[in-house]
């Protein structure tokens, strides 16, 4: 008798759980209700109606959690600042909700599908997945659904060409620009780009699509400036790099460019020290440039160079404001307050600034109300932040000038170099630009290939600006 | 009372050989199919199609594939995601390089390529038995992942090695909408399930089970062991290959090799263990568990606990609950959910009597 | 030639690091017949516990003791709630249970100690040591020394102590061991605790190399070929297997992999293990499976 009851109970539970699923899906009401119960951790959010919604496909657990918690923490803190200090964007408050992806593509897709309807009537402005894999999976859907996907400092390089990818924005820096700017810096350190001829450079890359993205451009640059480039792959996840670094020692390059991710970074730095390669000739790219990447390497990391689109540190007016209005009020998102001002945190703040400025730009055209994704897209495409505006935002020196257009969804392409002194990052160079004129034809060619493959009609930017063609 | 078991006499062998003997069972299945094909496409939302139903169906198909190999033929395999990857990339390349190839043909041929790969990595099964055999499929897992990442030919020389799926058009009809993808996936899965069900009831299926139970005895009575094992690998990989192609084309719309990594293989292994090894329906139940449970937990968590617990910890709690539930199921019902279902059905059949 | 020697020595030493993780598997497999996939999570949990306590200001040896105690508690809990309930089940069920267990342990580890990346400094400067012109990593030598000590300690325990003999008895024939009066549950808890301790040592060594973070649990993927070559139930086997896997993997990466552009390290050990198994289907030192009809 007992076992019968148990078996029935089990089946009923399963049936109910499957059935209940239909009731608990796009549960905007329940999430909003929970939002108003919010305390501490994510701060008090305003009620959703009449607000602009930012869905957050965040990752706070798993192998890349350190980056995710920093980035999304900074993003949320900035949005909190806009709400508390300015009362929202022209009176329209910002609201958000998080959906954990653990950096996995199908979870990112599920989060997108779940959140794209908005939050209790607040329409989504843009999606910021901070993941190349998820961004790729969303390209088609987002274009059909008319939601912008922001891939700051990363993403699909050819999505820089907005004529083929109207809804994808690799803001500030795409992978090609990274590599080109690094080459320019190396040239600078060697005394001029012409001095690069005959030198040996190794590109140590992560064995994944992200890692391989820049191989063709490095080959082109090598041919142009006459240096010898060796590409060495580190299989994911990069726990063991012994043989790769022995190979590097055999090649005896002058510089090693590290295109790493996650655990590969500290292991690379340690392995470099192990075989005696000077760590101050190891240059990390944009995803090998955080405190979390170099700290586990301990003493070996001192002198390690990396690129950055923004300095670390809390010494900027906007960060001081976050301190004053958000952190002191106990509404900060970071569990460890020491991480405020770290590279990832500041990237999140910058991402917040760019998203909010895009909304503001769009509001100037479409009205001071919650905007749809299509309208925010226009805002991104016409984003123009110059030095004067940067000073107003309190981000001068933190964020570079950025100007997007229909053809150019990147807008920046400039980096600075920082060096690890054992405790923190110190900026050691001025702004260095990528050779965008060299890269543009390659990008356009790749985008055109994608357009033919998918049957996409390339936008006519001039016609759209004149009003003779409809906006996407 | 709901079932009429007594008095069901078969006038012919064909009657007795039917998959579902009782009329009530056939009616129930018919109702389910009518619901799935005719009602859900009009009633369901985008979210349900794109994020719940399609992955459920695709994973169930992969589960059927793995079940054929591990559940019915007893050859442990932890590389099913590799065969999915082969199917996905093969279908993509065929569609890309052979203009005018019908979509279904490219899925089928993708499955064939996956089957060939399965046969290659199944060759060691003659020498190696039991748990050690998993090394062969693990080697497949890592080797296939490496091959597709390394050789950009497979991804049409896309610098980042990620492929985007071509449009889904069959006979002029575009299946690219969420409900279209659902119907396409459902049709393919339904047909392949029927084939699998008949396969396991046939002589081939019985020889699989003989090998699983005791392959020395099977050899003694004259079953060709090596050929049968390879056939098991081939059919299983075919199913996984088609599932992989559907995953890429109908679900995500994009494929990167890391999407078919070891975690995916473990996920499919979970599906058949929780659903029930050696059972076709078990693959569906297991896939439902694996797909729906995390979503259910996520929705419950966001609805009730979003304000109280920080999102990262929420995720950790879900992981613990998920792992705990797996252990719980393994303790309580090692034969899987399908056993629970069969026991329940048996109760219904006997009601109001009890056994 | 010098380069070849460097790669070879580096590979051998890396292999010893893999064996450290594999020893934990062997201990549990020998005594309870369970292939413990949760070993990776146990390594992560042990290392995270240690590092978090050290960061709070507790001394090295005290933190070590606390971490060991934590692993003991974990072992007892696992035995009580998982192993006891799954007695006599087929090995695949137990394997899946350990997979579920690995999720639970990961979740608990991240919940308790957070998902931060921690550096771990064991006080050894990783500058190269030059022997006969070949540069050898000082840290790797230290790891090899630790592994030797660990294996020696385990050998002593198995040979000379009552607990060790009881472990061997249970590994040989659980029913007979029961008949002689050995408490199976206590032995299982003991062996899981021992595996936890070994995991702690492995976690410290690997954590010093990579930093203590989530990816630490992925080192278990390198331990599997070691186990397969060495046999699941032999500690000598793991050392030999580790040396073989480490050396072959690094040499192949450098000499064979360069033709393909590298990156073959992930699958080469498995293919190597596969080739090995074709010759010896139960590994070098594994128990020969006897089949009866």
Number of domains in chain A: 2
Of C114, C126, C266, the CB nearest to A274: C126
Residue with the two structure tokens 């759209």? A464
Q: Which of A345-349, B13-17, C243-247, C248-252 has the lowest mean pLDDT?
A: B13-17
Residue A280 shares a structural domain with residue A319: no
Residue A287 shares a structural domain with residue A328: no
Radius of gyration of chain B measured on its C-alpha atoms: 21
Extended beta strands in C83-187, E state: 128-131, 134-137
Chain centroid to Cα A329, Å, comes to 28
- Using a CB-CB cut-off of 8 Å, the residues of chain B touching C256 are none
Radius of gyration of chain C measured on its C-alpha atoms: 19
This model of the complex carries an ipTM of: 0.87
Residue A122, C-beta contacts closer than 8 angstroms, at least 6 positions apart: A48, A49, A50, A51, A52, A53, A95, A370
Crossing angle of helices C220-230 and C235-251, in 10° steps, is: 120
**CATH code for the domain of A461:** 3.40.50.2300
Instruction: State how far the Cα of A380 lies from the Cα of A186, in Å rounded to an integer.
Output: 33
Q: Where are the domains of chain B?
A: 1-43, 44-350
Instruction: State how far the Cα of A261 lies from the Cα of A211, in Å rounded to an integer.
Output: 8
What pLDDT band is residue B66 in, cutting at 50, 70 and 90? very high
Calculate the average pLDDT of chain C: 86
Per cent of chain B over pLDDT 70 is: 97
C117 touches A: beta carbon within 8 Å: yes
Residue A113 shares a structural domain with residue A259: no
| Predicted confidence (pLDDT) per residue in B27-49, tens digit | 999 999 999 999 999 998 888 89
- Using a CB-CB cut-off of 8 Å, the residues of chain C touching A62 are 115, 214
A99 touches B: beta carbon within 8 Å: yes
Answer whether C273 sits within 8 Å of B129, measured CB to CB: no
Terminal C-alpha separation, chain B: 14
Domain assignment of residue A360, yes or no: yes
Of C85, C263, C274, the CB nearest to B331: C85
Angle at B93 between CA B87 and CA B94, to 5 degrees: 85
Instruction: State how far the Cα of A287 lies from the Cα of A309, in Å rounded to an integer.
Output: 11
Calculate the average pLDDT of chain B: 89
Instruction: State how far the Cα of C68 lies from the Cα of C197, in Å rounded to an integer.
Output: 6
- Using a CB-CB cut-off of 8 Å, the residues of chain A touching C126 are 270, 273-274, 300
- Using a CB-CB cut-off of 8 Å, the residues of chain C touching A247 are 254, 258
Nearest Cα residue to B323 out of A42, C81, C176, A181: C81
Q: What stretch of H or E contains C132?
A: none
Domain assignment of residue A368, yes or no: yes
Answer whether C116 sits within 8 Å of A336, measured CB to CB: yes
- At A40 the pLDDT is 35
Terminal C-alpha separation, chain C: 54
What does the block give as tokens for B350? 């006997």
Backbone φ and ψ for A372, nearest 5 degrees, come out as -85, 170
Residue A101 shares a structural domain with residue A201: no
- At A37 the pLDDT is 33
Alpha helices in B202-279 (DSSP H): 203-213, 215-220, 225-246, 262-275
| Probe site for chain A from C262, C266, C267, C268 (most A CB atoms < 10 A) | C262
Average pLDDT over residues B202-211: 95
Average pLDDT over residues C137-156: 87
Domain assignment of residue A24, yes or no: no
- At B21 the pLDDT is 82
In angstroms, what separates the C-alpha of C249 from chain B's closest C-alpha?
14
Residue A297 shares a structural domain with residue A419: yes
- At B46 the pLDDT is 86
What is the CB neighbour count within 10 angstroms for residue B179?
Answer: 19
Instruction: State how far the Cα of B4 lies from the Cα of B8, in Å rounded to an integer.
Output: 8
* DSSP letter assigned to residue B169: E
Residue A186 shares a structural domain with residue A302: yes
In angstroms, what separates the C-alpha of A299 from chain B's closest C-alpha?
30
| Predicted confidence (pLDDT) per residue in C177-230, tens digit | 889 999 888 888 999 999 999 999 999 998 888 888 888 888 888 888 998 888
Q: Which pTM does this prediction carry?
A: 0.88
- Using a CB-CB cut-off of 8 Å, the residues of chain A touching B51 are 109-110, 113-114
| Predicted confidence (pLDDT) per residue in C253-280, tens digit | 888 877 777 778 888 999 998 888 888 8
Extended beta strands in chain C, E state: 128-131, 134-137
Domain assignment of residue A11, yes or no: no
Residue A48 shares a structural domain with residue A139: yes
Residue A267 shares a structural domain with residue A145: no
Residue A339, C-beta contacts closer than 8 angstroms, at least 6 positions apart: A69, A70, A73, A291, A345
Domain assignment of residue A410, yes or no: no
Q: Which domain holds residue A227?
A: 175-308+415-434
Residue with the two structure tokens 């192609």? B245
Q: Which burial class, exposed, middle or buried, applies to B54 when counting CB atoms under 10 A from its CB (0-12, 13-18, 19+)?
A: buried
Residue C248, C-beta contacts closer than 8 angstroms, at least 6 positions apart: C11, C268, C269, C272
Cis preceding linkage at A89, omega within 30: no
| Predicted confidence (pLDDT) per residue in B258-272, tens digit | 889 888 998 999 899
Answer whether A296 sits within 8 Å of C3, measured CB to CB: no
What is the CB neighbour count within 10 angstroms for residue A457?
Answer: 9
> Is pLDDT of B112 > 90?
yes
Residue A328 shares a structural domain with residue A230: no
Instruction: State how far the Cα of C39 lies from the Cα of B319, in Å rounded to an integer.
Output: 17
Burial code (b: 16+ CB inside 10 Å, e: under 16) for B104-126 equals: eebbbbbbbbbbebbeebbbbbe
> Is pLDDT of C48 > 50?
yes
CATH 3.40.50 fits B44-350, yes or no: no
- Using a CB-CB cut-off of 8 Å, the residues of chain B touching C283 are 132
In angstroms, what separates the C-alpha of B61 from chain C's closest C-alpha?
21
Instruction: State how far the Cα of A89 lies from the Cα of C51, in Å rounded to an integer.
Output: 44
CB pairs under 8 A between A and B: 172
> Is pLDDT of C291 > 80?
no
Backbone φ and ψ for A458, nearest 5 degrees, come out as -70, 135
| Predicted confidence (pLDDT) per residue in B276-312, tens digit | 988 999 999 999 999 998 888 888 877 777 666 777 7
Average pLDDT over residues B70-83: 92
- At A5 the pLDDT is 44
- Using a CB-CB cut-off of 8 Å, the residues of chain A touching C213 are 63, 66, 263, 296
- At B252 the pLDDT is 87
The 3-state secondary structure of chain A, one letter per residue: CHHHHHHHHHHHHHHHHHHHHHHCCCCHHHHHHHHHCCCHHHCCCCCCCCCEEEEECCCCCCCCHHHHHHHHHHHHHHHHHHHHHHCCECCECEEEEECCCCCCHHHHHHHHHHHCCCECCECECCECCCCHHHHHHHHHHHHHHCCCEECCCCCCHHHHECCCCCCEECCCCCHHHHHHHHHHHHHHHHCCHHHHCCCEEEEEEECCHHHHCCHHHHHHHHHHHCCEEEEEEECCCCCCCHHHHHHHHHHCCCEEEEECCCCHHHHHHHHHHHHCCCHHHEEECCCCCCHHHHHHHHHHHCCCEEEECCCCCCCCHHHHHHHHHHHCCCCCCCCCHHHCCCHHHHHHHHHHHHHHHHHHHHHHHHCCCCCCHHHHHHHHHCCEECHHHHHHHCCECCECCEECCCCECCCCCEEEEEEECCCCEEECCCCEECCHHHHHHHHHHHHHHHHHHHCCCCCCHHHHHHCCCCCC
Three-class SS of residue C212?
A: strand
Instruction: State how far the Cα of C66 lies from the Cα of B283, in Å rounded to an integer.
Output: 44
Three-class SS of residue C170?
A: helix
Q: Where are the domains of chain C?
A: 2-217
What does the block give as tokens for B187? 């049709």
Instruction: State how far the Cα of B52 lies from the Cα of C222, in Å rounded to an integer.
Output: 34
Residues of chain A with pLDDT under 50: 1-44
Of A11, A21, A132, the CB nearest to B341: A11
């Amino acid at each position: 008798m007992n076992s019968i009851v148990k078996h029935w109970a089990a089946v009923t539970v399963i049936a109910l759980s499957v059935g209940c699923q239909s009731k608990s899906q796009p549960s905007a009401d329940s999430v909003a209700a929970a939002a108003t119960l919010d305390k501490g951790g994510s701060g008090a959010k305003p009620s959703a109606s009449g607000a602009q919604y930012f869905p957050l496909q965040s990752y706070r657990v798993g192998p890349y959690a350190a980056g995710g918690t920093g980035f999304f923490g900074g993003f949320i803190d900035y949005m909190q600042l806009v709400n508390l200090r300015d009362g929202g964007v022209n009176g329209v408050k910002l609201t958000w909700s998080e959906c954990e992806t653990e950096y996995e593509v199908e979870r990112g897709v599920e989060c997108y599908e779940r959140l794209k309807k908005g939050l209790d009537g607040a329409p989504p402005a843009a999606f910021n997945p901070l993941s190349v894999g998820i961004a790729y999976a969303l390209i088609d859907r987002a274009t059909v659904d008319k939601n912008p996907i922001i891939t700051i400092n990363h993403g699909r390089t050819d999505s820089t060409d907005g004529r083929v990818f109207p809804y994808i924005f690799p803001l500030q820096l795409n992978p090609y620009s990274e590599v080109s700017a690094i080459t320019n810096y190396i040239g600078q350190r060697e005394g001029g780009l012409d001095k690069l001829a005959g030198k040996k450079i190794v590109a140590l890359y992560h064995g994944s699509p992200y890692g391989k993205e820049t191989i063709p451009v490095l080959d082109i640059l090598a041919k142009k400036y006459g240096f010898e480039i060796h590409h060495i792959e580190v299989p994911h996840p990069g726990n063991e790099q012994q043989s790769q670094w022995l190979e590097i020692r055999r090649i005896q390059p002058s510089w090693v460019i590290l295109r790493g991710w996650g655990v590969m970074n500290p292991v690379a730095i340690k392995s470099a020290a192990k075989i005696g390669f000077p760590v101050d000739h190891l240059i990390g790219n944009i995803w090998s440039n955080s405190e979390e990447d170099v700290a586990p390497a301990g003493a070996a990391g001192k002198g390690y160079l990396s690129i950055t689109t923004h300095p670390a540190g809390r010494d900027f007016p906007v960060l001081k404001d976050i301190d004053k209005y958000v952190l002191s009020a106990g509404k900060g998102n970071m569990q460890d307050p020491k991480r405020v001002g770290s590279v990832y945190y500041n990237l999140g703040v910058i991402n917040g600034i760019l998203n909010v400025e895009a909304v503001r730009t769009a509001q100037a055209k479409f009205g001071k109300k919650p905007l749809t994704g299509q309208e925010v897209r226009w805002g991104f495409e016409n984003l123009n932040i110059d030095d004067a505006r940067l000073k107003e935002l309190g981000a001068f020196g933190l964020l570079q000038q950025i100007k997007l257009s229909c053809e150019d969804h990147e807008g920046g392409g400039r980096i600075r170099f920082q060096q690890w002194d054992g405790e923190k990052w110190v900026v050691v160079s001025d702004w260095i630009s990528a050779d965008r004129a060299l890269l543009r034809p390659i990008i356009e060619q790749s985008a055109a290939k994608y357009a033919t493959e998918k049957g996409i009609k390339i936008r006519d930017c001039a016609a759209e600006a004149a009003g003779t063609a409809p906006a996407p | 009372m709901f079932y009429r078991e007594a008095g069901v006499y078969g006038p012919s062998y064909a009657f007795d050989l039917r998959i579902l003997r009782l009329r009530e069972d056939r009616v129930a299945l018919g109702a389910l199919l009518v619901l799935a094909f005719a009602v859900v496409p009009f009633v369901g939302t985008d979210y349900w199609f794109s994020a719940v139903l399609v992955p459920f169906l695709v994973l169930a198909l992969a589960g059927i594939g793995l079940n054929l190999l591990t559940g019915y033929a007893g050859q442990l395999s932890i590389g099913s995601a590799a065969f999915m990857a082969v199917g996905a990339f093969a279908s993509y390349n065929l569609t890309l390089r052979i203009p005018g190839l019908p979509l279904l043909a490219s899925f089928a041929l993708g499955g064939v390529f996956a089957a060939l790969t399965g046969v290659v990595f199944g060759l060691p099964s003659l020498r190696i038995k039991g748990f050690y055999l998993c090394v062969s499929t693990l080697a497949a897992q890592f080797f296939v992942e490496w091959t597709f990442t390394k050789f950009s030919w497979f991804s049409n020389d896309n610098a980042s090695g990620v492929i985007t799926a071509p449009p889904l058009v069959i006979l002029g009809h575009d299946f690219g909408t969420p409900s279209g993808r659902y119907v396409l996936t459902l049709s393919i899965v339904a047909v392949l399930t029927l084939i699998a069900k008949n396969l396991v009831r046939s002589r081939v299926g019985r020889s699989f089970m003989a090998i699983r139970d005791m392959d020395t005895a099977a050899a003694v009575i004259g079953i060709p062991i090596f050929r049968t094992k390879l056939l098991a690998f081939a059919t299983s990989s075919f199913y996984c290959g088609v599932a992989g192609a559907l995953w890429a084309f109908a679900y995500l719309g994009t494929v990167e090799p890391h999407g078919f990594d070891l975690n995916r293989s473990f996920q499919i292994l979970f599906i058949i263990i929780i659903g029930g090894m050696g059972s076709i329906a078990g693959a569906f139940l297991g896939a439902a568990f694996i797909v729906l449970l995390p979503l259910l937990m996520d929705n419950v968590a966001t609805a009730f606990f979003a304000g109280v617990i920080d999102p990262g910890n929420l995720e950790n709690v879900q992981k613990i609950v998920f792992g705990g539930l797996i252990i719980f199921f393994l303790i309580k019902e090692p034969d899987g959910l399908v056993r629970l279902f069969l026991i329940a059905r048996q109760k219904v059949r006997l009601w109001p009597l009890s056994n | 030639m010098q380069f070849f020697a460097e790669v070879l020595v580096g590979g051998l030493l890396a292999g010893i690091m893999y064996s450290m993780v594999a020893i934990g598997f062997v201990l549990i497999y020998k005594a309870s017949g369970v292939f413990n996939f949760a070993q990776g999570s146990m390594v992560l949990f042990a290392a995270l516990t240690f590092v978090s306590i050290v960061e709070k200001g507790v001394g090295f040896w005290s933190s070590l003791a606390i971490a060991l105690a934590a692993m003991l508690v974990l072992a007892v809990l696992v035995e009580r709630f998982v192993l006891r309930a799954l007695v006599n089940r087929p090995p695949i069920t137990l394997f899946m249970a350990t997979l579920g267990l690995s999720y639970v342990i990961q979740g608990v580890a991240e919940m308790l100690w957070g998902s931060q990346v921690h550096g771990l400094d064991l006080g050894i400067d990783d500058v190269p040591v030059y022997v006969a012109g070949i540069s050898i990593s000082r840290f790797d030598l230290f790891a090899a020394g630790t592994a030797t000590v660990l294996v020696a300690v385990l050998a002593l325990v198995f040979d000379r102590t009552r607990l060790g003999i009881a472990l061997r008895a249970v590994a040989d024939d659980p029913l007979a061991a029961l008949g002689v009066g050995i408490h199976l549950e206590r032995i299982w808890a003991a062996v899981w605790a021992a595996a936890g301790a070994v995991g702690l040592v492995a976690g410290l060594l690997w954590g010093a190399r990579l930093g203590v973070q989530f990816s630490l649990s992925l080192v278990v993927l390198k331990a599997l070929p070691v186990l397969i070559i060495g046999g699941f139930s032999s500690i000598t086997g793991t050392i030999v297997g580790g040396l073989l896997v480490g050396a072959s993997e690094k040499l192949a990466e450098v000499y064979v992999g360069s033709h393909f552009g590298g990156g073959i390290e992930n699958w080469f050990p498995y293919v190597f293990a596969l080739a090995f198994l074709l010759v010896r289907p139960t590994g070098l030192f594994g128990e020969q499976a006897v089949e009866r009809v």
